[in-house]
RNA sequence: GCACCGUUAGCUCAAUUGGCAGAGCAAGUGACUCUUAAUCACUGGGUUAUAGGUUCAAGUCCUAUACGGUGCACCA
């Protein structure tokens, strides 16, 4: 138990003082008209309304008191005066603090400055806050505290509330968009016996009753494809993936991914679909296809232009643009020398040739591209679940959509030949053949229709639309090490 | 895993070359019947993240630890 500070002790004294007066400081249900936003909407001079929320400001004028009552949807001013509530209730009022929840019933009126206000007739204490809130003007600035105690961040910081409201709206609009086009939302296993569909390290767990080692999924892809085998033609899943990898500004161990599969389509049709989807969401969320990112001082950092059509370019052409026209004609040694010399990249000796090129691509194309860019016809080694290109089997029919300097969405023409799929997975797995999902290959042998599919990183999309610099700013409770004293 | 930076009152921030740890908000008391970051007066509040070290003297220098931030590595 931490030593109690003066402010907490005072609040506990008030808590007991309330009880001594027969007032339960942790109240019960309180009928209101609705959220504070709804109360403000219903505001009409002379009408009596009921609202509930947290006290976030108190302006004491002696006999008159003005109090801000707030919830996640907004703020409304309440006016307290002994003449309206009586002397006994004012004694209760004096035992309230910033942060306490109250329910009020009062008459709508406009102050002389025009502020919509409830003239309180009756009020109830709904919950006492035993901890003082952060500074009212600057809010909670400490980054660590904002992540660990998101509830305090949400109470104190308008910007944080806006960010998460936007994220909620993004997810809602994506679901609506896909539902409108006949895609069915499905749920596939998060606990998997083989963690397939991507190459990341999984989290391990264990089922006691079955004595079975399991993994948290790193991707839903292989199960969604089983549904194509089963006859579904338009499906999506929007849920959490888990990857046991490093944490960064762009990576959280659990993150939200949308995956969409469409039978008889291909990667180009999927590119059209994601373009339409993201533009649709942008219009709804930001009201514009020009997304402005600003720093903490409100200075413009960049504008991202989502106006269609989005640029589509081949992987090799993009690499040539940054690494030289002759990049693919020179020797492996020359490429490594150029990458670590002229291009100033760190190239580890154990990298395979295609990984050296991929490194150049990631550092010099991906991280520097902010407006949407579809990168097409990637080398097949990078994407073992996509169909090879008919004209050049060293390439796959895919796009990688880059926006805001990150990989936002991969889209494939899905590989549906079970024998080729087995071969590609074996090449990928190397020694670790136990990682092959045999049941998935069995499903493909039953016949999977040609199909297009895409993934969409929801956290990264939320970063795009909110201008957040870190993925932790768009995840309500990002993973942190537990704090110990 | 590696490197650099940060951690001062409940919160937001100061503290010069190593020389008495300060302010605003919040809190307490008092004044004020329309305030909007209300205003005015007074008061209380600190083991400077933790553990050591150097020094006459450490928030400041050194070592270690914890947590966080950023970058690198990892992540088809």
Do A123 and A68 share a domain, yes or no? yes
Do A126 and A160 share a domain, yes or no? no
Domain edge (last residue) among A99, A133, A167: A133
The nucleotide minimizing the C1' distance to residue A425's CA is: B76
A404-425: pLDDT as tens digits: 999 999 999 999 999 999 999 9
CATH at A445? 3.30.930.10
Task: Tell me the DSSP string of A295-323.
Answer: -TTS-EEEEEE-PSSPEEEEHHHHHHHHH
CB atoms < 10 A from the CB of A393, how many? Answer: 10
CATH at A40? 2.40.50.140
Angle at A444 between CA A440 and CA A446, to 5 degrees: 120
- A398 SS3 class: strand
Do A202 and A279 share a domain, yes or no? yes
Q: Is residue A335 part of a domain?
A: no
The nucleotide minimizing the C1' distance to residue A62's CA is: B32
Do A162 and A32 share a domain, yes or no? no
A95-99, A153-157, A431-435: range with lowest mean pLDDT: A431-435
A150-176: pLDDT as tens digits: 999 999 999 999 999 999 999 999 999
The residue-averaged pLDDT of A15-30 equals 95
Q: Is residue A462 part of a domain?
A: yes
A108-145: pLDDT as tens digits: 999 999 999 999 999 999 999 999 999 999 999 999 99
Domain edge (last residue) among A103, A133, A163: A133
Do A92 and A220 share a domain, yes or no? no
Domain edge (last residue) among A86, A102, A133: A133
Do A89 and A163 share a domain, yes or no? no
Do A100 and A200 share a domain, yes or no? no
Residue A250 has what pLDDT? 94
The nucleotide minimizing the C1' distance to residue A10's CA is: B27
Query: Number of structural domains, chain A?
Result: 2
> Alpha carbon of A100 to those of A59, A77, A93, A138, A455: distances in Å?
15, 15, 11, 20, 44
Do A128 and A179 share a domain, yes or no? no
The residue-averaged pLDDT of A266-272 equals 97
Do A125 and A163 share a domain, yes or no? no
> Which residues, 6 or more positions from A239, have their beta carbon under 8 angstroms from its beta carbon?
A187, A190, A220, A256, A257
The nucleotide minimizing the C1' distance to residue A134's CA is: B11
Q: Is residue A246 part of a domain?
A: yes
Residue A295 has what pLDDT? 80
Residue A344 has what pLDDT? 82
Q: Is residue A321 part of a domain?
A: no
Q: Is residue A161 part of a domain?
A: yes
How long is the CA A60 to C1' B30 vector, in angstroms?
13
Residue A432 has what pLDDT? 67
A302-323: pLDDT as tens digits: 999 999 999 999 999 999 999 9
Q: Measured between alpha carbons, how far is A111 from A118 in angstroms, rounded to an integer? A: 10
Domain of A80 in residue numbering reads as 6-133
With pLDDT > 70 as the criterion, what percentage of chain A qualifies?
98
How long is the CA A485 to C1' B55 vector, in angstroms?
29
Do A161 and A119 share a domain, yes or no? no
Angle at A370 between CA A217 and CA A332, to 5 degrees: 75
Do A128 and A180 share a domain, yes or no? no
Upper half-sphere CA count for residue A339 (Cβ side, 13 Å): 29
Q: Measured between alpha carbons, how far is A217 from A456 in angstroms, rounded to an integer? A: 16
Upper half-sphere CA count for residue A200 (Cβ side, 13 Å): 22
Q: Is residue A334 part of a domain?
A: no
- A443 SS3 class: helix
> Which residues, 6 or more positions from A225, have their beta carbon under 8 angstroms from its beta carbon?
A261, A414, A440, A443, A444, A448, A451, A453
Which nucleotides of chain B are near protein (any atom < 7 Å from a CB)? 1, 6, 9-13, 24-28, 31-39, 44-45, 66-76
Q: Measured between alpha carbons, how far is A415 from A418 in angstroms, rounded to an integer? A: 8
Q: Is the pLDDT of residue A89 over 50?
A: yes
Residue A199 has what pLDDT? 86
Do A35 and A129 share a domain, yes or no? yes
The two three-digit tokens of residue A350, written as one number = 């154990």
> Alpha carbon of A432 to those of A11, A194, A241, A381, A429: distances in Å?
60, 12, 22, 16, 5
How long is the CA A65 to C1' B42 vector, in angstroms?
22
Residue A1 has what pLDDT? 40
The residue-averaged pLDDT of A239-261 equals 95
The residue-averaged pLDDT of A380-406 equals 94
Q: Is residue A55 part of a domain?
A: yes
Q: Is residue A354 part of a domain?
A: no
The nucleotide minimizing the C1' distance to residue A484's CA is: B66
Comparing every residue's Cα with the C1' atom of nucleotide B73, the nearest one is A246
CB A33 within 8 A of CB A50: yes
- Is this complex scored with an ipTM above 0.85? yes
**The residue to which tokens 């860019």 are assigned:** A373
Q: Measured between alpha carbons, how far is A190 from A220 in angstroms, rounded to an integer? A: 8
Q: Measured between alpha carbons, how far is A43 from A118 in angstroms, rounded to an integer? A: 9
How long is the CA A134 to C1' B53 vector, in angstroms?
37
The average confidence (pLDDT) of chain A is: 93
């Amino acid at each position: 138990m931490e030593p109690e500070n003066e402010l907490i002790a005072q609040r506990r004294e008030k808590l007991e003082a309330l009880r001594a007066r027969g007032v339960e400081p942790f109240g019960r249900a309180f009928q209101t008209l609705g959220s504070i936003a709804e109360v403000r909407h219903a505001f009409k001079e002379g009408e009596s309304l009921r609202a509930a929320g947290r006290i976030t400001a108190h302006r004491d004028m002696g006999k008159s008191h003005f109090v801000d009552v707030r919830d996640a949807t907004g703020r409304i001013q309440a006016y307290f005066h002994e003449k309206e509530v009586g002397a006994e209730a004012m004694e209760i009022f004096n035992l309230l603090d910033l942060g306490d929840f109250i329910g009020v019933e009062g008459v709508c009126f406009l102050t002389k400055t025009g502020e919509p206000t409830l003239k309180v007739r009756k009020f109830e204490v709904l919950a006492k806050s035993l901890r003082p809130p952060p500074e009212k003007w600057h809010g909670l600035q400490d980054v660590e505290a904002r992540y660990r105690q998101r509830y305090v961040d949400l109470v104190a910081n308008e910007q944080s509330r806006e960010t998460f409201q936007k994220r909620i709206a993004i997810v809602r609009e994506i679901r609506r968009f896909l539902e409108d086009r006949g895609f069915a939302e499905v749920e596939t296993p998060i606990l998997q016996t083989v963690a397939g569909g991507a190459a990341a390290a999984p989290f391990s767990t264990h089922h006691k009753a079955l004595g079975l080692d399991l993994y948290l999924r790193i991707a839903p892809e292989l199960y969604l494809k089983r549904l194509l085998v089963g006859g579904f033609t338009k499906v999506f899943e929007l849920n959490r993936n888990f990857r046991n990898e490093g944490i960064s500004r762009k990576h959280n161990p659990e993150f939200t991914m949308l995956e969409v599969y469409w039978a008889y389509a291909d990667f180009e049709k999927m590119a059209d679909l994601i373009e339409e989807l993201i533009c649709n969401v942008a219009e709804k969320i930001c009201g514009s296809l020009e997304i402005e990112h600003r720093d903490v001082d409100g200075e413009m950092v960049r504008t991202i232009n989502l106006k269609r059509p989005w640029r589509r370019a081949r992987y090799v052409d993009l690499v040539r643009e940054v690494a030289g026209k002759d990049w693919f004609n020179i020797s492996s040694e020359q490429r490594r020398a150029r990458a670590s010399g002229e291009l100033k990249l760190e190239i580890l000796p154990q990298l395979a040739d295609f990984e050296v090129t991929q490194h150049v691509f990631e550092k010099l194309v991906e991280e520097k591209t902010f407006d949407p860019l579809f990168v097409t016809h990637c080398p097949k080694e990078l994407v073992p679940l996509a169909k090879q290109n008919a004209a050049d089997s060293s390439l796959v029919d895919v796009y990688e959509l880059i926006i805001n300097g990150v990989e936002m969405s991969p889209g494939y023409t899905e590989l549906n030949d079970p024998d080729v799929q087995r071969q590609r997975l074996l090449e990928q797995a190397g020694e670790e053949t136990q990682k092959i999902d045999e049941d998935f290959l069995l499903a493909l042998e039953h016949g999977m229709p040609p199909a297009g599919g895409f993934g969409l990183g929801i956290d990264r999309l939320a970063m795009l639309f909110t201008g957040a610099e870190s993925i932790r700013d768009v995840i309500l409770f990002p993973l942190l090490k537990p704090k110990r004293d």
